[in-house]
Chain A
Amino acid sequence: DAKTTQPNSMESNEEEPVHLPCNHSTISGTDYIHWYRQLPSQGPEYVIHGLTSNVNNRMASLAIAEDRKSSTLILHRATLRDAAVYYCILRDVGWAYGGSQGNLIFGKGTKLSVKP
């Protein structure tokens, strides 16, 4: 899987939007962009993923740059419960057909703090 770069930490105020950036300049055409988060003392939790188009779900939005070399996870209204480490991970869609490995490769992620 290609490498991603994220800021080590970010701060946000409660009820304000949060934009978490991720750079992935060596992304390949078959790499999906996945976001997971890990709350303190819990297992990782899937947030969102996409390939080329922007994606929305009940948790967040994913904005993908036109050249796909970067993406941004958007939390529309941060809550205290959103304080976690957020991981941006690339996964090759072609694994099942002989591509790269199926496992997730976690980097250091971005530690998001939310202030009341």
Chain B
Amino acid sequence: NAGVMQNPRHLVRRRGQEARLRCSPMKGHSHVYWYRQLPEEGLKFMVYLQKENIIDESGMPKERFSAEFPKEGPSILRIQQVVRGDSAAYFCASSPSGSGSDEQYFGPGTRLTVT
């Protein structure tokens, strides 16, 4: 059973470009979470999605960031007009449900560098 897959693993973008980060959850998991880890800082929750629905986006910056989890295909985290402050590691996690008794399984992350 393959784990959570994220691609690309490393992404370099110039300021003003768009970044698209992909996450394929574990088989059978319909709940996806995105977290961001800025350099030398802790992990911060961004958004929680269930198939075709955004459940909680309280951690998402108000502008330039969006996320989706379509019926078919991976979850996408999209950052428009990237700035240097967006440079970070972005981790995706999945779980079979949103219950507090479930563990979350994390992917290896996408390391975004904005030049």
Contacts and interface: CB of A to CB of B under 8 A. Distances in A.
Contacts of A30: 100
Contacts of B55: 102
Interface in B88-111: 91, 93, 95, 97-101, 103-109
B59 to A, nearest CB: 7
A96 B58 contact: no
Contacts of B42: 106-109
A98 to B, nearest CB: 11
A106 B37 CA distance: 11
B43 interface: yes
Interface of B: 4, 31, 33, 35, 42-45, 48, 55-56, 58-59, 91, 93, 95, 97-101, 103-109
Interface of A: 30-32, 34, 38, 42-46, 49, 51, 91-96, 99-109
